[in-house]
Structure 1
Amino acid sequence: MIRFTDVTKRFGEVVSLDGVNLTVAPGEFVTLIGPSGSGKTTILRLAMTLERVSSGTIDIGGECLTHMPKGDRMIPADEKHLRRMRQRIGMVFQQFNLFPHMTVLRNVTEGPIRSLGKSREEAESRARELLELVGLADKIDVKPGKLSGGQQQRVAIARALAMDPDVLLLDEVTSALDPELVTGVLKLLADIAAATDITFLCVTHEMRFARGVSDRVVVLDRGRIIEEGTPERIFADPVQPRTREFLAAVLDRE
């Protein structure tokens, strides 16, 4: 469902990703871990088209995201191509990015109505289902400013799911939450992953969550993938010394 092929991303003289090759199968939950500055979030930003690759290609569902055909060659994707491809991808950010002047219900329905062309009745019906799923059925008429951080993140998750994405990108979704709210949001995501066929690509510093929900864990360092495998192997028997060093540091903090 997701394929990075020889992807490099530079910011001026800084190489954020260096020839990354990564494949995520349909329905798989893959978690990216590694030290700050290792390139994890850059991978998500490229997949969400918030940044463009410096070289290499990204495919979503067998179709190139970063490039498009023109005659007998591939050229960088134009905005029309990117808009169409974005409809297959959802993202939940560190910050909730809700519309403060809209109710919870309207926050969830605005995207499907404007971007997917759904009727208001259809969008609201689906939004109510999703808000029930995330435990906020009683908050549909409330504006985000009246919600806790955990509740706002649940609205953001419902909003992403309302777009019926093939792929859901999660970028440190609990980092802005108070510690007592983290467990509930992580359990919700684990339940959604278990109950749907959505493909997940996740960046997190919550190692217990990565170990518990992931099908595969990918370790990055200095813009390169240095190791990947099942959570059981990565956390119990990492091969690379840099992985052992990183895990020792973060698990000590937990």
Structure 2
Amino acid sequence: MPPSEATPEAPTPEAALPHGDTPGIRFDKVVKRFGSNVVLRELDFTVAPGERVTLIGPSGSGKTTILRLLMTLEKVDGGTIHVGDAPLSHMDRGGKLVPANEKHLHEMRKQVGMVFQQFNLFPNMNVLRNLIEGPVRVLGLPKDEAVERARGLLDMVGLSDKIDAHPSQLSGGQQQRVAIARALAMQPKVLLLDEVTSALDPELVVGVQDLLRDIARESDLTLLCVTHEMHFAKDISDRVLMFDQGQIVEEGPPDQMFESPTEQRTRDFLQAVLAT
């Protein structure tokens, strides 16, 4: 092939990962209700730039609601959320914070990526189009640059040979790897993980967890994870937060949280989860 027609070499896996200034997350007295059910009760917590934090706790304790608020899939009923130095749920107007309009939310969404339980790939698009659709349409990235980025990410997740496949032709583990690559293709500063292995067969869980551990090591993403996989939480986290009834019961480094938690509620939860 003549040099002018050569295909650009895909970036290395490390080059494909997001790097640079990474914002943190701050919840300030955040309230979220669904009808009469108060899911989050004046919640205060922060995630430092580049920190990896895992949320644990029983189902219904508000963990996934936190992720959905950060993705602007839900709106706060009270308090404010910041990503980096900018308010996410609100915007400045004349020196006062008012609820964010769609334009502000659109800009803020570019900083946050999420990997869901159920993959949520576009079934009518092949793997490559799943990865380039967002960067081209939302970020305005030139198509050839988006394709180069996608190739590097697919190489990183071990699926470079599936670039033309459709989601229905992939295993669950492969679909989740594509979903991870698609989230990273948007080069978010914050990555949210919502029970990313819960829909996988047990033999596929380890491979996806290993991939996420590599991403955590090799990027400077701020990472917020919800999981019931306690060993994974211990390996990937700088800090673990125990939630119950919309509030933080206890928090600390993984070794302390899993080996010598101070709160009885945490001990009871971990005993129940680790016994299954």
Under TM normalisation by the shorter chain, which class is it? over 0.9
The residue number in structure 2 matching 1:40 is 63
Q: CA RMSD in A?
A: 0.5
The residue number in structure 2 matching 1:177 is 200
The residue type equivalent to 1:230 in the other structure is P
Measure the CA separation in 1 of the matches of 2:66 and 2:196.
Answer: 15
Q: 1:72 deviation in Å?
A: 2.6
The residue type equivalent to 2:58 in the other structure is P
Counterpart pick for 2:130 among 81, 85, 107: 107
- State how 1:172-251 maps to structure 2 within 5 Å: 172-251=195-274
Matching of residue 19 in structure 1 with residue 70 in structure 2: no
Measure the CA separation in 1 of the matches of 2:48 and 2:93.
Answer: 28
The residue number in structure 1 matching 2:119 is 96
Superposed CA deviations along residues 170-192 of structure 1, whole A, max 9, x for unmatched, are 00001111111000001100100
- State how 1:11-90 maps to structure 2 within 5 Å: 11-90=34-113
Counterpart pick for 2:143 among 120, 127, 148: 120
The residue type equivalent to 1:240 in the other structure is E
Measure the CA separation in 1 of the matches of 2:118 and 2:143.
Answer: 27
The residue type equivalent to 1:124 in the other structure is V
TM-score with structure 2 setting the length: 0.91
TM-score with structure 1 setting the length: 0.99
The residue type equivalent to 2:77 in the other structure is S
Q: 1:70 deviation in Å?
A: 1.1
The residue type equivalent to 1:14 in the other structure is N
Measure the CA separation in 2 of the matches of 1:90 and 1:36.
Answer: 23
* Percentage of identical aligned residues: 65
The residue type equivalent to 1:113 in the other structure is V
Q: 1:74 deviation in Å?
A: 1.0
Measure the CA separation in 2 of the matches of 1:216 and 1:231.
Answer: 6
The residue type equivalent to 1:248 in the other structure is Q
| Structure 1: runs of 5 or more not aligned | none
The residue type equivalent to 1:100 in the other structure is P
Q: 1:215 deviation in Å?
A: 0.4
Measure the CA separation in 2 of the matches of 1:194 and 1:22.
Answer: 23
Q: 1:209 deviation in Å?
A: 0.1
The secondary structure found in structure 2 opposite 1:38 is coil
Structure 1 runs of 4+ with >2 Å offset = none
Q: Relative to structure 2, which stretch is displaced further, 198-207 or 65-74?
A: 65-74
Measure the CA separation in 1 of the matches of 2:254 and 2:210.
Answer: 17
The residue number in structure 1 matching 2:182 is 159
The secondary structure found in structure 1 opposite 2:79 is strand
Aligned residues: 253
Q: 1:107 deviation in Å?
A: 0.4
Q: 1:213 deviation in Å?
A: 1.1
Measure the CA separation in 1 of the matches of 2:80 and 2:197.
Answer: 30
Q: 1:73 deviation in Å?
A: 1.3
Superposed CA deviations along residues 23-82 of structure 1, whole A, max 9, x for unmatched, are 101111100000011110011011111001110110001110010011131100001100
Measure the CA separation in 2 of the matches of 1:74 and 1:231.
Answer: 36
Superposed CA deviations along residues 195-247 of structure 1, whole A, max 9, x for unmatched, are 00001000001000001110000000001001000000000110110000000
